[in-house]
Chain A
Amino acid sequence: MWRNGRNAGEYRECIIERAPENRWLDEAEEVRRLHDPAVQEQISPPLSEKEQKKDSRRYRQLVSASHRKRRVEKIQIGIGTVVCAFFAILFLMPIILTITNSFMSSSEISADYGAVFQTTSTGGKVYIAKTVTLKFIPDIVSFSQYFTVLLKSPQYLLKFWNSVIYVVPIVGFQLFVAALASYGFARYRGKVKDIIFFIYVIVMLMPYQVTLVPNFLVSSWLGILNTRWAIWLPGIFSPFAVFLLTKFIRRIPASVIEASEIDGAGEWQIFSQICMPLCKGGIISIAILIFIDYWNMVEQPLILLTDDQLHPLSVFLSKINAGEISLAFAVAVIYMVPPLLVFLYGEEYLVEGITYQGGIKG
């Protein structure tokens, strides 16, 4: 049998010891005897014709039922896939269109979309179509937009740089402040702390209409209105990261922290060498969420910064005027590249971060 055959090596996983009461089956003789039709007839006598028909009908019914079930399941999966694909196309279309359109030459754009943006500085030479023709693929692929944006008109890069300059310190320092605070919230919980935490949650959930008024008052009082600090400081102390990171730290098993306490670690050591490394994933996901939030910001600069030079690219893009409309798509693409890169790098972290947001309580 297999056990002693030359294929024994390949089929090693299949070798199972017989239970002692079934050992007799290993005897080849016995097996051959059992397969003998005469013996089989003895074990299970042949069915009558009626019984056979009944049996086979039942068998067919079972088979067709299971086929039907499988077919229904297949159709369901098919419908699900189609629905998902439909939504996926809807969701992706604006992004893809923006990207493909950024490869159009400027004359093509003003011919296609001129009507949308009501060009005023036409000078009579540019042909403006009355209709808007949306094109998925440009007639001629050209990099002229990118060329102009990156090399010829520095104001876009300046605004891009503005965006970077706002976002990077906010992400870094908000995480730092929040890491300390969330450790404080998660350790030694008490009534006072829970109340403060609740206040944090409320502040976090307030829309900009509400939070910008206090921010504006403080900024004008500190004299930092219309400077970068007016964006940086409220951003750094925003309670969002505190809230989320506290939830992450509270998930660390108490026994881990107790063990390190017994080993003589001080509070700072527990914080920096136990909690933070354990929350690495959480920190990355929070960093991503903060990054998107502030990369996207529009309300704060509109109110806190009156100087256009300080505005980030998001605000500037909306003020792009008709003469430069041909560049807008390229700028838009450049603007969405960093968050998309972050997304590709950290999709799992992002999903984890969102999941942790579910449920407001810690």
Chain B
Amino acid sequence: MESKGKQSLLQAGNKLNRFLRKNASGQKMTRSQRGRAKSWMFLTPSIAGVLLFFGLPFCVVIYYSLVNNPVQHIFVGFHNFIRVWNNGAFQLAAGNTLKFSFVAVPLAVILSLFLAVVMESRIPFKSQFRTFFLSPMMVPIASVVLIWQVLFHYNGLVNEVLMAFGHDKIDWLKSNQAQVVIVILFLWKNLGYNMILFMAALSSVPKDILEVARLESASESQIFWKIKLRYLSSTILFVTIMSLINSFKVFREVYLLTGDYPYDSLYMLQHFMNNTFQSLDYQKLSAAAIIMSLVIIVLVGIMFLAEDRFGRDVEE
């Protein structure tokens, strides 16, 4: 049995080889044709894996989102989507995630751009500062969450500082201010990454243009707003969208800080998904996943279009 299988496999291999050497008319392939075919062979393992783990199951997800349940397979149209859309937990989670993104993303972009500009000037200890700013990116969130809990505890350091300024204590993790904590944690983690992107973009602003501007006695602020920002525009867009996508992933921080059942204002989309996973409601899960993927696809589409436009604009 086994040898037979092996033989057929060998035959298939030979066939493939022959196919690769000759095209349909039986003539030898040119070198570039053969190379082209071979380059597809390089791609096969990855494409097979992506198809198996992301592509095909995603089709199943689309299918599940349109039927009433995985056993009966009765087509119900957009019923599942409407069900998810009207679900209170989903609305809460989506609202919280949006609120979070709305605050965290602009802050992440502006602060990191500010840091990058400061780092561009001739300050000492540049490389050390860069190391410091990048280090939060490397440190696992799980490791620092303990300190975060201590800092933002009701009797913790942050509240003591607030008290010193004559402000009332805030129960950070169990009130509507909880999002502030997460925003700070998000910024802490992501600023370094964004800053590196901006620094790379700043250093690629053509030197001769800056020199000309200085000769024409343009002030530094004019140079920044009129020239550098122009060259940074595509990077700003990229950083904005990457931050937006990263802000959807902020569940990790929330989970590690507060566990499965956080305060209402911290209930994120991933919490909703986790709870739905536990109830194994495939339709709801699929519909929610598709809604979210549509959001991401729209964002990526915007990024592609804009990069085309801005990119062409800046190149000569």
B307 interfacial by beta-carbon distance below 8 Å: yes
Contact with B along A81-118 (1 / 0, CB 8 A): 10111011011101101100100000000000101110
CA distance A148 to B13 in the complex (A): 57
| Contact present for B151 and A200 (CB under 8 Å) | no
Interface residues of A in 187-233 (CB under 8 A from B): 187-188, 190, 193, 196, 199-203, 205-218, 233
**Size category of the binding interface on chain A:** 35 or more
Interface residues of B in 122-171 (CB under 8 A from A): 122-125, 129-151, 153, 155-157
Classify the secondary structure of A's interface with B: helix
Q: Which of B43, B238, B296 has the most CB of A within 10 A?
A: B43
Interface residues of B in 10-36 (CB under 8 A from A): 31-32, 35-36
Q: Which of A85, A88, A340 has the most CB of B within 10 A?
A: A88
- Which of the segments B75-83, B174-182, B222-230, B248-256 contacts the partner chain? B248-256
B115 interfacial by beta-carbon distance below 8 Å: yes
| Contact present for B136 and A95 (CB under 8 Å) | yes
Query: Which residues of A are found within 8 Å of B201, using beta-carbon distances?
Result: 358
CA distance A221 to B145 in the complex (A): 35
| Contact present for B147 and A94 (CB under 8 Å) | yes
| Contact present for B296 and A181 (CB under 8 Å) | no
Q: In the complex, what residue of chain A is closest to B156 when comparing beta carbons?
A: A132
Q: In the complex, what residue of chain A is closest to B257 when comparing beta carbons?
A: A318
- Which of the segments A14-22, A47-55, A297-305 contacts the partner chain? A297-305
| Contact present for A130 and B155 (CB under 8 Å) | yes
Contact with B along A59-89 (1 / 0, CB 8 A): 0000000000000010011001101110110
A153 interfacial by beta-carbon distance below 8 Å: no
| Contact present for B153 and A116 (CB under 8 Å) | yes
| Contact present for B188 and A91 (CB under 8 Å) | yes
Q: In the complex, what residue of chain B is closest to A353 when comparing beta carbons?
A: B196
Query: Which residues of A are found within 8 Å of B54, using beta-carbon distances?
Result: 203, 211, 214-215, 234, 237, 239
Q: Report the minimum CB–CB distance from B142 to chain A (whole Å).
A: 4
Q: In the complex, what residue of chain B is closest to A328 when comparing beta carbons?
A: B146
A39 interfacial by beta-carbon distance below 8 Å: no
A290 interfacial by beta-carbon distance below 8 Å: no
CA distance A201 to B60 in the complex (A): 20
B206 interfacial by beta-carbon distance below 8 Å: no
Q: A84 contacts which of B49, B119, B238 (Cβ < 8 Å)?
A: B119
B297 interfacial by beta-carbon distance below 8 Å: yes
Classify the secondary structure of B's interface with A: helix
Q: Which of A76, A188, A271 has the most CB of B within 10 A?
A: A188
Known contacts: A336-B139, A359-B307. The answer to whether A180 contacts B45 by CB under 8 A is: yes
Query: Which residues of B are found within 8 Å of A88, using beta-carbon distances?
Result: 129, 132-133
| Contact present for A217 and B245 (CB under 8 Å) | no
Q: B49 contacts which of A83, A212, A233, A317 (Cβ < 8 Å)?
A: A233
- Which of the segments A2-10, A23-31, A343-351 contacts the partner chain? A343-351
B269 interfacial by beta-carbon distance below 8 Å: yes
Query: Which residues of A are found within 8 Å of B148, using beta-carbon distances?
Result: 94
Contact with B along A247-268 (1 / 0, CB 8 A): 0000000000000010000010
B89 interfacial by beta-carbon distance below 8 Å: no
Q: Which of A211, A339, A340, A358 has the most CB of B within 10 A?
A: A358
B289 interfacial by beta-carbon distance below 8 Å: yes
Q: In the complex, what residue of chain A is closest to B201 when comparing beta carbons?
A: A358
Interface residues of B in 275-292 (CB under 8 A from A): 277, 285-286, 288-289, 292
Contact with B along A133-172 (1 / 0, CB 8 A): 0100000000000000000000000000000000000000
B265 interfacial by beta-carbon distance below 8 Å: no
Please name 14 pairs of A and B residues whose Cβ atoms are closer than 8 Å in the assembled complex, sorted by A.
Answer: A91-B133, A94-B147, A94-B148, A94-B188, A209-B273, A212-B277, A213-B289, A296-B252, A299-B270, A333-B143, A339-B139, A347-B134, A350-B138, A360-B300
Task: List residues of B whose CB falls within 8 A of some A CB.
Answer: 31-32, 35-36, 38-43, 45-47, 49-50, 52-58, 60-61, 115, 118-119, 121-125, 129-151, 153, 155-157, 188, 191-193, 196-197, 200-201, 234-235, 238, 242, 245, 248-249, 251-252, 255-256, 259, 269-270, 273-274, 277, 285-286, 288-289, 292-293, 296-297, 299-300, 303-304, 307, 311
Task: List residues of A whose CB falls within 8 A of some B CB.
Answer: 73, 76-77, 80-81, 83-85, 87-88, 90-92, 94-95, 97-98, 101, 113, 115-117, 130-132, 134, 177-178, 180-181, 183-185, 187-188, 190, 193, 196, 199-203, 205-218, 233-234, 236-237, 239, 242, 261, 267, 271, 292, 295-296, 298-299, 302-303, 313-315, 317-318, 328-329, 332-333, 335-336, 339-340, 342-343, 347, 350-351, 354-355, 357-361
